[in-house]
Amino acid sequence: MSSTGLAVAFAVGAASLHALAALGMVAQRRWWYPTALTVAASGLHVCALHFGPLTLVQPLGVLSLAFALVLSWALTRRRVTPREWRGMALSMAGLAGLLLLAAPTRPRSELSSTQILLLTLAVVALIAVAVASASRLTLRPVRRSLLFALAAGTTFGVSSALTQTVTIRVADSGVSAALQPASAVVLVLAATGLLLARRAYRVGLGAPLATATIVNPVTASAIGIGLLGERFTGGPVEVTLSVAAALTAAAGVVLLARGSRAPVTRPMRPERVPVTP
């Protein structure tokens, strides 16, 4: 299997585990198994970033939205609306088109220490603004959750970009290269993103998961193209079709977000009423 195929396989596995973890966060019954699933998904995600570029790996995270839809139906028996099915079909079709048409190049470049510092400061500032706004402004719970989801998606996107830099350094210099400030930043950002996501999913999966799912690849792809020199190959026809596929996937995500507004939780057990003799 080619490196691109391995990257896709690892990314698909990570997306499925992220969907399960998100469902666990919504249920809010135990903290350990969503965390364990997130750690496992992060391991697969690191492998995907080692074999593929950010502009290919990160958009595959959209699969977590479709997986969450199917899993929520299977585990909680929540009715899936026709709008959600249409959204899933469009997002899958758009992703399939991107995989078939887009062939991003991946130069062996890594973020410099200055770039890592600037990205870290930027994401910390965004988190501070999002948390302060959600705490001080009078907002509806859904809008407040969207602020946390925006911060979580950005944090995960930056964390993925830094993770790719760490994997390149480890591949070039050995395991000792992992003992560097960038690795510590990755761990802190990943943990922060997890906490923000847990806060965002308190009102359900629909709009918050969709927001984080969109912001994550947009952030990572911007870093990949703007700072790492990743580019898409192909002529004008391939580029046009790739853009159309991306817009199709985005339209599907919007439908999924608009169609899944109800909280995705396990049905509560009926209370037992004591019978008096």
In whole angstroms, give the CA distance from residue 275 to residue 277: 6
- Is 69 within a domain? yes
pLDDT band at 175 (very low <50, low <70, confident <90, very high): confident
10 Å CB burial of residue 35 (0-12, 13-18, 19+) is middle
In whole angstroms, give the CA distance from residue 54 to residue 211: 19
Range of the domain at 13: 3-259
- Is 191 within a domain? yes
User: Which are the contacts of 42, defined by CB distance < 8 A and separation ≥ 6?
Assistant: 14, 190
Pairing of strands 231-232, 104-105: antiparallel
Q: Among 176, 264, 193, 179, which Cα is nearest to 45's?
A: 193
Rounded average pLDDT over 168-194 = 85
- Is 272 within a domain? no
Residue 219 has pLDDT above 50, yes or no: yes
Give 232's DSSP letter.
E
In whole angstroms, give the CA distance from residue 6 to residue 225: 22
- Is 79 within a domain? yes
Q: Among 17, 78, 135, which Cα is nearest to 261's?
A: 78
Number of domains in the chain: 1
The pLDDT score that the predictor gives to residue 106 is 60
Residues of the chain with pLDDT > 90: what percent?
A: 10
- Is 267 within a domain? no
- Is 275 within a domain? no
Query: pLDDT, tens digit, for every residue of 43-94?
Result: 777 777 777 777 777 777 777 777 777 776 766 666 777 887 887 788 778 8
- Is 226 within a domain? yes
- Is 158 within a domain? yes
Task: Read off the tokens for 271.
Answer: 């209370």
Report the predicted TM-score, pTM, of the whole model to 2 decimal places: 0.71
Q: Among 265, 117, 224, which Cα is nearest to 180's?
A: 117
pLDDT band at 123 (very low <50, low <70, confident <90, very high): very high
The count of C-alpha atoms lying within 13 angstroms of the C-alpha of 42, restricted to the half-sphere facing its C-beta, is 19
| More confident position, 37 or 199 | 199
Residue 271 has pLDDT above 60, yes or no: no
In whole angstroms, give the CA distance from residue 145 to residue 140: 9
Query: pLDDT, tens digit, for every residue of 199-213?
Result: 887 776 667 777 787
For residues 201 and 244, the answer to whether their CB atoms sit within 8 Å is: no
Strand ranges, E, within the chain:
104-105, 231-232
Phi (first) and psi of residue 64, to 5 degrees: -60, -30
The count of C-alpha atoms lying within 13 angstroms of the C-alpha of 222, restricted to the half-sphere facing its C-beta, is 10
The pLDDT score that the predictor gives to residue 277 is 45
